[in-house]
Amino acid sequence: MNIAFDAKRFFLNQSGLGNYARTLISSLLKHYPDNHYTLFTTKKTENFFSEKIGKEKNISVAKPERFIDKKLNFHWRSYKITPLLAKNDITIYHGLSNELPLNISKFKGKKIVTIHDLIFLRYPKLYPFIDRKIYNKKFKSSCKSADTIIAISEQTKNDIMEFYSIPSEKIKVVYQSCDDIFYKEQTQNETEKTKAKYKLPEKYLLCVGTIEERKNLLTVVKALTIVKNISLVVVGKKKSYYKKVSEFISKNNLDKRILFLENVPNEDLPSIYHGAEIFIYPSLYEGFGIPIIEALTCKTPVITTKGLCFQEAGGQDSIYIDPTNYEQLAIEIQNLLSSPETQKRISENGFEYSKKFQPQVIASEIMKVYSED
């Protein structure tokens, strides 16, 4: 098959949608090398992944060549990709990040879009008005135009059905995976080297994710006023919500117990997870929650939000809380820290559960979608 992707995020996003695109395409390249893959992008950045692509014979990159198309790259993505699909003998076009070209109906091959979440509709106050309007137009158009919609969780599938009135049979749930690097055996020496590199505390709780209101870091910070004798490491980009968190930290003299890290390379993350006592993810809403899977593969016990997609990602052995109740979170942290046996059971069972999200498993499920009539 000749399969093409909207790969803008593959090259230009360092987390989130970019990780989804890179992990999926890398898995397909590795496990289904007989296909040819074309990546459509407005710009090709030079990084580890683009270097790897240059060495592969069954993958190519298509980007704007004319000056006007480079300048008007939104127009190129929306209207110029579709005629190129026929020219390149593409049989399947997969929009990896909620979008399809606006004229994709002219494409005679199979049209697939992955929808990650509709948080902007579920929690509109978290998004500017104009962003909501643009997202809604793009997402709705893509769902209507696609032959098949891939939802990354049952929660996202339910949202698509509710907000866009899409029939259930048009939507396939295929979970996300995390990078192969998280499934590699981690030695204690590697963990210790990483801890030294970032000057990590001897014992710490861990949060990974953008520091924004929806991720709800303040609940974890508040729990530290009850839980003593352990530090918190936070890995993620700071947004305006950080100011609110920072003010609470200063007011409660928690500065010396909390370490913030930004721009951590992907290859260092497994060791940071491995070194943590507990991974905490009290997000208010997600399409799925990749950091939960990353923690499980690293055998780190997880405490996360009760209900929604979080239990799909965390399985039956993770611990679930009301994300607004910091006192409940503090109790669960203390219970885990005081019971090495429970920590071991949760981490081992969580690791077994995480195998259902291995890259080769997800790649196989995606190929089934591609092969269906």
Residues 222 and 129 in one domain: no
Residues 162 and 89 in one domain: yes
Residues contacting 183, CB < 8 A, separation 6+ = 297, 358, 359
Residues 158 and 192 in one domain: no
CB 77, CB 101: distance < 8 Å: yes
Residues 367 and 342 in one domain: no
- Residue 308: pLDDT band with limits 50, 70, 90: confident
Q: First-to-last CA distance in the chain?
A: 14
pLDDT over 90 at 307, yes or no: no
Residues 154 and 201 in one domain: no
Residues 164 and 188 in one domain: no
pLDDT computed for residue 46 by the predictor:
67
pLDDT computed for residue 15 by the predictor:
74
Residues 238 and 353 in one domain: yes
Total tally of structural domains belonging to the chain: 2
Question: Tokens at residue 321, please?
Answer: 């809380």
pLDDT computed for residue 56 by the predictor:
74
How much is the CA Rg of the chain, to the nearest whole Å?
21
Residues 168 and 215 in one domain: no
Region 138-161: what's the mean pLDDT? 97
Question: Tokens at residue 40, please?
Answer: 């459509």
Residue 126 has a CB neighbour count (10 Å cut-off) of 16
Rounded Cα–Cα distance for residues 276 and 34 (Å) = 40
Residues contacting 157, CB < 8 A, separation 6+ = 151, 168, 171, 173
Residues 62 and 134 in one domain: yes
CB 367, CB 94: distance < 8 Å: no
pLDDT digit string (tens) for 215-274?
A: 999 999 999 999 999 999 999 999 999 999 999 999 999 999 999 999 999 899 999 999
Quick one: what percent of the chain has pLDDT higher than 90?
85
User: What's the pTM?
Assistant: 0.89
Which runs of E-coded beta strand occur in 7-58? 36-40
pLDDT computed for residue 47 by the predictor:
59
DSSP state of 99: -
Residues 8 and 79 in one domain: yes
pLDDT digit string (tens) for 96-120?
A: 999 999 999 999 999 999 999 999 9
Residues 241 and 349 in one domain: yes
pLDDT digit string (tens) for 8-33?
A: 999 888 778 888 999 999 999 999 99
Domain with 301 in it:
181-357
